[in-house]
Structures are given as C-alpha cells and as structure tokens.
Copies of this chain bind each other. A is one copy, B any other.
Amino acid sequence: MKIIHSPAETAPAPMAESPGTKSHRAYTQIRADILSCTHLPGTKLNIAGLAADMDVSLGAVREALSMLQSEALVVSEPQRGYTVSPVSPKELADITEARIAIEALCLRTSIERGDLAWESRLVAAWHRLSRLSQTEAGRDQHLSDVWSRAHADFHAELVGACGNDWLLRMRAMLYEQSERYRRMSVSVPQQNATRDVPAEHKAIFDAVMERDIDRAVAALENHLRKTATIVRSSVAL
C-alpha cells in the first residue's frame, strides 16, 4: 500500500495551460522571455544558467531550445550552443514581404470559403480588439499584454477560414517574428500619433465583412507595411 507518493508536490498551482512536461514549461517561459525581449536578440543563452533559473535540468532546457529553434526564435551552432535569433533591417524586410504575400493569400481563400460561423468569430474578435483600443493600451503592462492577445486573435481570425494548414502555419510563424520586432519598438508615441491603427483595422474588417477581397487585401497590405515602416525607423537596428 503506497500512500501519497505525492502527485501534487511539484506544481500545486494550475499554472495556466502547460501540457505537464517540464520541457514544455521551460519552452513556454524562455519563449515569453524572448518575445518580451528579456533575452535580447543576439544574446548567447547559457544552458546551465537557464536550468538553474527555472529549476529544471539541462536536458529539459536543451529540449526547450530545440523547440524554439523550430520557430526560428533561437539559432544553434553545433558545439557552440544557442543564441537568440539576431535581428536586422534585411530580416525585417524579408519577413514583411513574405508576410504580406502569405497573409494576402490566406485572406483571399478565407474570404472565399468563410461561412457564417467564421463571420461570427471574426465579429467577436473585432469587438474585443476595438473596445480595448479605445482604452489607450500601451501604458500599463497588463493592458498591453491583453491588447496584444486580442490583436493576435483578430489577425488570426481574419484568415481563420483559409483551410490550408501549411499556409496558416507559415503565417503564424511570420506573425510571431513580426511581433518580436514590434515589441522592440513600443512606446514611440510621436510616430503613432500620425497613425490611426484602429482605423486601419476597421478598414480591413469592413472590407472583409463586405466580402470585397481586393479591398481587404489592399487594406491588410497597407496595415502591415505601415507597421513595418514604423518599426524600422524607431528601432536602432
């Protein structure tokens, strides 16, 4: 009769939606630290250090880094460890062009194939984002996170009816990369003042709801290109 070999000793807290394995928790945390620029681009990642910080073993960290490599958030040189993927103007330009092309493709098919359920989800995502935009996100950290989440959901929902899993996977990858650049250039009010982001979103949303493919794609492209321009000029690359 083995009593209490303690299933709950490790993590009594629910800890969000982590799939149990320690590798995945490490992955989630390192990923968040990279996206939030706690680990700056180009930094060498010390495996032992990370393992000590989050109280897991080397192997777990190593596996987490492998996962991150698949999203191109870190790069590894054999026998020389892992580093946070560096950033550059060229990279930003490549990502932006690729993203415009692929998102446009996804958006076209999404509008063509989208049914009522999709429209409903899109309306919901739009509603959340537009309400949050009114409350001046950006100052307080929590609100900014919530807005980022809503923004990601809205963009994801736009192409949600595309149906091509491979294109969607690539879109997701590029979105994430763009996010990393965007977050490097937060709090540049003087430039954002000349720009009405909610209006750009509204333009996309309206065109999509009217099923005007070309106008929707044009509005999306405009939105992405403007974002990239702002990011580029505000970040010292």
Contact = CB atoms under 8 A, between A and B. Distances in A.
B166 A20 contact: no
A24 to B, nearest CB: 6
What's the dominant secondary structure at chain A's contact region?
helix
Contact of A166 (B94, B164, B166): B94
Number of chain copies forming the complex: 2
B20 A98 contact: no
B63 A95 contact: no
A189 interface: no
Interface stretch (A66-74, A113-121, A137-145, A215-223): A66-74
A48 to B, nearest CB: 16
Nearest to A165: B94
A37 to B, nearest CB: 20
A114 to B, nearest CB: 17
Interface of A: 19-21, 24, 59, 62-63, 66-67, 69-72, 78-79, 91, 94-95, 97-98, 101-102, 105, 163-167, 169-170, 174, 177
